[in-house]
């Protein structure tokens, strides 16, 4: 169906195409806030997919990494009065730190146990944040992550303006995409593939499987932490639900919907999910019914996800 | 910390056992599904919630609570059968992730349908008249209904044990849990066995929901938080192990009850902390088979 | 006495109450092709798994080049100079044949580099290509490994094992499930490999290894029944009774 010349063109200029897409994207959306949301959850899903798609480990505790990023960024700005960019760095470090703790404990387990252990540990983080009211605001969430103006490189940007806000977030997401593609193309990326494909052989080749998983989990934490801190800046509040296990479920859903075996799949899954949620919630409050149904259909009929199915069709 | 007497501790122990009984019923179903079908049922909480609402509906039809105890598991279990037959069954052999994700989506739908039918507000569920009040258990008064929950759970455990140990069907199920290949070689219709197992598992979840309803009311979200706790119980006991589910369920119930007496702010964390500790010492849980980890 | 590369001292393994292997003491001379044989259930695979570090022995010691390696984690074996092929074929099935070997070669140079492109690692592809040549898979280099024939996958596995430039190569029933032609090619390859390094081979079919082995170890019921040259083993009455007496299949 698609012209092979066009595909070759897309492949050669994929970086440019990505940037072009990120520039045009908000203009295609019904409103800008949803475009920002899609970027943030897309980044979250990509970070998650580093474990699920690339390494084959299903984590049900990624809400903790995302939430840790959001809270670290928020706490740095609200309680310590640090500038926004230190907040973001704090978010990335926070995501990695929680990932190191959860990963360090969970990496001993595999398969379904890994999913369950990460779930339980992330619930620990949730309840800890729930109790630590003075730091996190507890049940009410962490309020007052205000950012109105960004001054960088002699520019002063109005972060309240939706389009400006979008492009600031897009810049971070583009950077993260670049880093992630480097990781996947690196020698470590090859080790990840090897471990996913055959653990015993990877070990016999001389790779430390546990350590590899641990490093991947921490890297995943960096991306999810970045997504979380962008989320905190975008919402100017960190709701406690960010850490709840249903957030983990959400990101699994997005990755699966888009296609977890592909690079862009999770991103596209996040986009489709959020658009669907928005459109359906315009005419019914019971959008969860349709989202659930879409999810069930996806598992039954398109296990490769939207993007994965498209790529398959192209390959044929 | 003052005012905590031995009697109080023992009473709290009973509270923990009652809570644990609910966990046991949930974890039994979950473990059965996992051990037999390698399905991690993320809709287990939703079936639990359906149990409570099915009870409300049946009571509305004029059933009494005792009939509900019988019919709620049957009705919800039948719905579970349908889910297995038309949805989950298509995913066997496709790894552990897909059934998990399917049931996750399914739980979204079930919760939302209940919201549409019964509203987003929770509903009250009255304790049956006969079981209102408290009973003297020697060291003090204990709510009769909680004693009843413990009793029903042990009765169900006994019945399940008899079913698994003494009936030909139970024999097939136990053999199938150990090695599905053998059952297939023996020429037994495995699909039918799995169907029944799914029905039993979801029926047990529904019974747990019905029993929990008088204690905490019914709400569409009631299954969400208990799902995570039921997972913990199942994992601590060892996935697929029924004995493990019983012991871990009671243990977790008691741990929660004790921490909420001694250090209330730690009550919810304690469950997950317990699990982390158990898994660090024994990654496969109390009675889990190490092989299931991969 | 010739140089000893590997020695096991009274290594035993129990699974619960079941004693799969009772204290086996044996030495493997450097440069030799030693085959471990024995009827089904003799403990060959258990012994192999202990030597290759798949699991730790319940008792005893394993000494490699004078160094006690008992309980060393599996992933360190490549660095020690020991490589193995599994009884069940294990390659990276969805990756190309060449990349399979390239990943194996990469383990020596780079494990946690997350930044440089993997194509920037100089010489790996060339080394991988040479290894594919050695096992006769060069013209299959672009095929996805999972689509190779069974015999080819086993050869690929050996190429991957060779990537760490092992001084000791361990092979667990390398001809299992192979057609007669594939078996012959594999035996040729093993003889070729054994001319350059020490090889320890586990084999169920005694006939296959009698001709090519320098030494044989015969296991029976978890115990070392006999060891020696193929001629010694052929003449050994006990071996004849428990092993040669059985019809091979």
pLDDT bucket at B293, cuts 50 / 70 / 90: very low
A 10 A CB-CB count for C144 gives 14
Q: How many CA atoms lie within 13 A of C33 on its CB side?
A: 19
Is the Cβ pair A299, B279 closer than 8 Å?
no
- Our answer on whether A and B touch (3+ beta-carbon pairs < 8 Å) is yes
The whole-number pLDDT of residue C249 equals: 44
Per-residue pLDDT tens digits for A17-75: 888 888 888 888 877 889 999 999 999 999 999 999 899 898 989 999 999 999 999 99
The whole-number pLDDT of residue B142 equals: 86
**B246: Cβ–Cβ under 8 A, 6 or more apart, which residues?**
B24, B27, B28, B157, B237
Gap between the Cα atoms of A271 and A34, Å rounded:
9
How far apart are the CA of C182 and the nearest CA of chain A, in angstroms? 22
**Using CA atoms in the order B62, B65, B68, B69, what is the torsion angle rounded to 10 degrees?**
-170
Chain B contact probe: residue of A127, A199, A241, A255 with most B CBs at under 10 A: A127
Per-residue pLDDT tens digits for B238-249: 887 888 999 999
Is the Cβ pair B104, A112 closer than 8 Å?
no
The whole-number pLDDT of residue A14 equals: 78
pLDDT value at C63 more than 90: yes
Interface of A with C in 212-231 (CB under 8 A): 212, 215, 219
Nearest to C218 by CA among C43, C19, C5: C43
pLDDT value at B93 more than 80: no
Nearest to B107 by CA among B235, B213, B223, B229: B223
Mean pLDDT on B5-26: 90
Residue C168: its H or E element: strand C168-172
Residue C26: its H or E element: strand C18-29
pLDDT value at A97 more than 80: yes
Q: What angle do CA C189, C194, C197 make, to 5 degrees?
A: 130
Nearest to B137 by CA among B17, B6, B7, B274: B7
The whole-number pLDDT of residue B169 equals: 82
Over pLDDT 70: what percentage of chain A? 98
Question: Considering chain C, what is the average pLDDT of its residues?
Answer: 89
pLDDT bucket at C7, cuts 50 / 70 / 90: very high
Spatial contact of C64 and C232, defined as CB atoms under 8 Å apart: no
ipTM summary value: 0.88
DSSP-H helix ranges across chain C: 44-51, 77-80, 97-106, 124-134, 150-162, 180-194, 206-210, 230-235, 237-239
Question: Considering chain B, what is the average pLDDT of its residues?
Answer: 87
Distances (CA, A) of C186 to C50, C98, C214: 24, 20, 17
The whole-number pLDDT of residue C246 equals: 57
The whole-number pLDDT of residue A21 equals: 87
Gap between the Cα atoms of B107 and B117, Å rounded:
15
Mean pLDDT on A138-146: 89
Q: How many CA atoms lie within 13 A of B99 on its CB side?
A: 23
pLDDT value at A117 more than 90: no
Is the Cβ pair B269, A131 closer than 8 Å?
yes
The whole-number pLDDT of residue C57 equals: 92
A 10 A CB-CB count for B294 gives 9
Gap between the Cα atoms of B222 and C36, Å rounded:
61
pLDDT value at C114 more than 90: no
With tokens 């393994």, the residue in question is: C13
Gap between the Cα atoms of B119 and B117, Å rounded:
6
A183 shares contact with chain C (CB less than 8 Å): yes
Spatial contact of C183 and C193, defined as CB atoms under 8 Å apart: no
pLDDT value at C47 more than 90: yes
Per-residue pLDDT tens digits for B197-248: 999 999 999 999 999 999 989 999 999 889 888 988 988 898 878 889 999 9
Nearest CA in chain A to C169: A204
Note the pTM of the prediction, 2 decimals: 0.88
Spatial contact of B202 and B76, defined as CB atoms under 8 Å apart: yes
Residues of chain A contacting C95 with CB distance shorter than 8 Å:
193-194, 197
How far apart are the CA of C161 and the nearest CA of chain A, in angstroms? 7
3-state secondary structure chain A: CCCHHHHHHHHHCHHHHHHHHHHHHHHHCCCHHHHHHHHHHHHHHHHHHHHHCCCCCCCCCHHHHHHHHHHHHHHHHHCCCCCHHHHHHHHHHHHHHHHHHHHHHHCCCCHHHHHHHHHHHHHHHHHHHHHCHHHHCHHHCEECCCCCEEEECCEEEECCCHHHHHHHHHHHHHHHHHHHHHHHHCHHHHHHHHHHHCHHHHHHHCCCHHHHHHHHHHHHHHHHHHHHHHHHHHHCEECHHHHCHHHHHHHHHHHHHHCCCCCCHHHHHHHHHHHHHHHHHHHCCCHHHHHHHHHHHHHHHCCCHHHHHHHHHHHC
Chain A contact probe: residue of B37, B228, B245 with most A CBs at under 10 A: B228
Residues of chain B contacting A111 with CB distance shorter than 8 Å:
96, 292-294
pLDDT bucket at B180, cuts 50 / 70 / 90: low
Could you tell me which chains touch chain B, where touching means 3 or more CB pairs under 8 A? A
Nearest to A165 by CA among A234, A229, A224: A234
Is the Cβ pair B265, A112 closer than 8 Å?
no
pLDDT value at A316 more than 80: no
pLDDT bucket at C248, cuts 50 / 70 / 90: very low
Mean pLDDT on C151-163: 93
Gap between the Cα atoms of A215 and A209, Å rounded:
10
The sign of the CA dihedral A24, A25, A30, A36 is negative
The whole-number pLDDT of residue B172 equals: 81
The SS3 assignment for B217 reads coil
pLDDT value at B270 more than 50: yes
């Amino acid at each position: 169906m698609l012209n092979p010349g066009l595909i070759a063109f897309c492949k050669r200029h994929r970086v440019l195409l990505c940037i072009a897409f990120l520039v045009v994207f908000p203009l295609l959306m019904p409103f800008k806030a949803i475009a920002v949301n899609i970027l943030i959850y897309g980044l979250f899903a990509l970070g998650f997919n580093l474990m699920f798609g690339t390494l084959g480990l299903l984590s049900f505790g990624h809400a903790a990494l995302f939430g840790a990023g959001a809270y670290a960024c928020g706490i740095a700005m609200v309680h310590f009065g640090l500038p926004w960019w230190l907040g973001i760095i704090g978010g990335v470090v926070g995501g990695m730190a929680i990932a190191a703790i959860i990963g360090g404990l969970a990496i001993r387990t595999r398969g379904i146990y890994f999913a369950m252990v990460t779930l339980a540990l992330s619930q620990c983080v949730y309840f800890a944040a729930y109790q630590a009211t003075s730091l996190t605001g507890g049940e009410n969430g962490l309020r007052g992550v205000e950012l109105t103006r960004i001054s960088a490189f002699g520019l002063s940007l109005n972060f309240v303006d939706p389009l400006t806000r979008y492009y600031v977030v897009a810049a971070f997401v583009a950077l993260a995409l670049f880093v992630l593609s480097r990781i996947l193309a690196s020698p470590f990326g090859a080790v990840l593939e090897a471990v996913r494909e055959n653990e015993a052989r990877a070990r016999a080749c001389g790779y430390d499987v546990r350590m590899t998983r641990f490093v991947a989990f921490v890297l995943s934490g960096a991306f999810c932490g970045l997504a979380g801190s962008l989320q905190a800046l975008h919402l100017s509040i960190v709701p406690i639900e960010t850490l709840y296990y249903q957030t983990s479920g959400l990101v699994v859903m997005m990755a699966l919907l888009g296609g977890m075996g592909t690079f862009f799949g999770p991103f596209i899954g996040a986009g489709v999910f959020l658009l669907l949620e928005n459109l359906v919630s315009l005419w019914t409050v019971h959008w969860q019914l349709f989202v659930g149904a879409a999810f069930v259909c996806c598992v039954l009929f398109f296990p490769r996800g939207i993007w994965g199915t498209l790529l398959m069709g192209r390959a044929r | 910390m003052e005012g905590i007497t031995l009697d109080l501790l023992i009473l709290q122990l009973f509270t923990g056992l009652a809570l644990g009984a609910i966990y046991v019923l949930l974890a039994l179903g979950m473990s059965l599904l996992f051990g037999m079908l390698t399905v991690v049922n993320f809709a287990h909480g939703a079936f639990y919630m359906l149990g409570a609402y099915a009870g409300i509906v049946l009571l509305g039809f004029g059933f009494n609570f005792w009939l509900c105890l019988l019919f709620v598991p049957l009705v919800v279990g039948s719905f579970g059968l349908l889910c297995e037959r038309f949805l989950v069954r298509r995913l066997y052999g496709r790894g552990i992730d897909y059934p998990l994700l399917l049931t996750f989506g399914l739980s979204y739908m079930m919760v939302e349908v209940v919201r549409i039918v019964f509203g987003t507000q929770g509903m009250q569920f009255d304790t049956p008249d006969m079981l209102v009040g408290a009973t003297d258990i020697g060291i003090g008064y204990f709510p009769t209904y909680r004693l009843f929950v413990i009793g029903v759970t042990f009765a169900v455990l006994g019945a399940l044990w008899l079913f698994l140990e003494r009936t030909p069907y139970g024999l097939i199920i136990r053999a199938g849990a150990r090695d599905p290949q053998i059952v297939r070689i023996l020429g037994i219709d495995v699909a039918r066995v799995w169907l029944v197992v799914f029905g039993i598992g979801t029926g047990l979840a529904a019974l747990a929901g019905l029993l929990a309803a008088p204690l905490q009311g019914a709400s569409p979200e009631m299954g969400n938080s208990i799902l995570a706790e039921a997972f913990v119980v199942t994992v601590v006991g060892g996935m697929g192990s029924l004995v493990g589910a019983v012991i871990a369920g009671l243990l977790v119930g008691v741990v929660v009850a004790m921490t909420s007496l001694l250090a209330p702010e730690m009550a919810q964390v304690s469950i997950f902390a317990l699990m982390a500790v158990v898994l660090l010492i024994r990654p496969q849980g109390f009675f889990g088979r190490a092989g299931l980890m991969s | 006495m010739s140089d000893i590369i590997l020695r096991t001292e009274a290594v035993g393994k129990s699974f619960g109450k079941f004693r799969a292997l009772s204290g086996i003491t044996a030495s493997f001379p450097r440069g030799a092709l030693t085959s471990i044989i024995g009827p089904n259930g003799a403990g060959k695979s258990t012994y192999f798994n202990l030597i290759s570090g798949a699991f730790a022995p319940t008792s005893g010691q394993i000494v490699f080049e004078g160094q006690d390696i008992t309980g060393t984690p599996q992933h360190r074996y490549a660095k020690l100079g020991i490589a193995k092929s599994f009884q069940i074929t294990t390659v990276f099935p969805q990756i190309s044949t060449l990349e399979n070997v390239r990943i194996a070669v990469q383990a020596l140079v780079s494990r946690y580099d997350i930044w440089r492109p993997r194509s920037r690692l100089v010489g790996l592809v060339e080394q991988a290509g040479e290894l594919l040549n050695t096992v006769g898979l060069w013209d299959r280099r672009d095929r996805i490994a999972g689509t190779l024939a069974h015999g080819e996958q086993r050869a690929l596995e050996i190429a991957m094992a060779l990537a760490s430039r092992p001084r000791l190569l361990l092979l667990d029933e390398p001809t299992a499930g192979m057609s007669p032609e594939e078996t012959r090619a594999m035996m040729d390859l093993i003889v070729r490999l054994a001319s350059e390094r020490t090889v320890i081979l586990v084999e169920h079919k005694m006939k296959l290894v009698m001709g090519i082995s320098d030494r044989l170890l015969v296991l029976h019921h978890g115990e070392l029944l006999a060891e020696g040259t193929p001629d010694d083993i052929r003449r050994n009455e006990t071996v004849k009774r428990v092993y040669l007496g059985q019809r091979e299949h």
